[in-house]
Amino acid sequence: MTQRTTALIYVRVSRLDRGDRERLREDGADAHLRALSPRTQIEQVKALPTLRGLKVEVFEDLHRSGKNTARPGLERLRERMEQPDVAAVAVWSMSRLGRSVPDLYMLLEEMHELGVAFVSAKESIDTATASGRAFVGFLAVLAQFERELTSERLVANLEQLARDGGAIGPLPFGYRRVDGEVVIDEPAARVVQTIFREYATGKYSYRNLASWLNENGHRPPNFDGRHRNGRPHATVFVADALTDILANTRYAGRVVYRPRRNVDDRGVAARFAAIIDEETWAA
């Protein structure tokens, strides 16, 4: 069995321009600037009891933000800590590892699954101890809270956009965006009008109407000969596509957030023009 003989030190220094440094010095923060230097971070971390007797490897991200985990030095450290000789990852401060609670928890969970301890000098955290493990549990609660709060805000914003009649998500066939505004794409809109008009006659099932459209030279959304996600765009209409088009209230100038099957929710008036009139929609 491989012995755990190595500690990985992670160092990060945020980008500070001249103005930032001058403002910090005016605020009497020279000591703070020195504390954040790579050399000082490494010296203070090496002095931690947990690292005593371990070989040390240093990973750095200089002039890098901690807002996400997309950092070259951190990526190298994450790859290295998968090796069985790694005993611990150590930082001068939690903020060096990251500023997002969900990101911090994700990284600490990776370490836990690999059997690697996490140590922070400034906050006196060591996940090899009971208090350190309790901190990780608390961080998990905070991470879940932040994720749910973000989700609630997103839902609230989408609901408000729908209440205001805005376009949510990808635009349906027949519309396009011009300078941020939703406008009717006339050639495609004529196809949409044909679909509604012919279906209203009662002569067609979805499948038969799709065949009729294809036989008469009509083309489905995004037919331009290009590929998307490695697959070609549809070259013919199919029944499922017509089901979606004929159920889309936006063609009648109404926006419904979270439409429910078999529930007549008229929604609110859209902030963009209708392609289908009410009489045709109701037919």
Right CATH for 165-282 from 3.40.50.300, 3.40.250.10, 3.40.50.10320, 3.90.1750.20: 3.90.1750.20
What is the reported pLDDT for 234?
Answer: 54
Who wins on pLDDT, 82 or 157? 82
Query: Where are the domains positioned within the chain?
Result: 6-146, 165-282
What is the reported pLDDT for 261?
Answer: 43
Q: 87: part of which helix (H) or strand (E)?
A: strand 86-91
DSSP H helix total and E strand total for the chain: 11, 11
Who wins on pLDDT, 29 or 126? 126
What is the reported pLDDT for 153?
Answer: 60
The CATH superfamily of 6-146 is Resolvase, N-terminal catalytic domain (3.40.50.1390)
Say which range, 146-155, 160-169, 190-199, 269-278, has the weakest mean pLDDT.
160-169
Bridge partner residues of 175 (DSSP): 184
Which pLDDT tens digit goes with each residue over 5-48?
Answer: 999 999 998 765 454 445 444 444 444 444 578 888 999 999 99
What is the reported pLDDT for 171?
Answer: 80
What is the reported pLDDT for 30?
Answer: 45
Mean pLDDT of 192-211: 90
Say if strands 181-184 and 6-13 run parallel, antiparallel, or are unpaired: unpaired
Which pLDDT tens digit goes with each residue over 208-224?
Answer: 999 999 888 887 765 44
What is the reported pLDDT for 74?
Answer: 93
In terms of phi and psi (left: phi > 0; alpha: psi -120 to 50; beta: otherwise), the region of 168 is beta
The residues near 183 (Cβ < 8 Å, ≥ 6 apart) are 175, 176, 177, 272, 273
Instruction: Report CA dihedral (269, 275, 281, 283) to the nearest 10 degrees.
Output: 160
Residue 162's CB is within 10 A of a number of other CB atoms, namely 18
Which pLDDT tens digit goes with each residue over 56-96?
Answer: 999 999 888 877 788 999 999 999 999 999 999 999 988 88
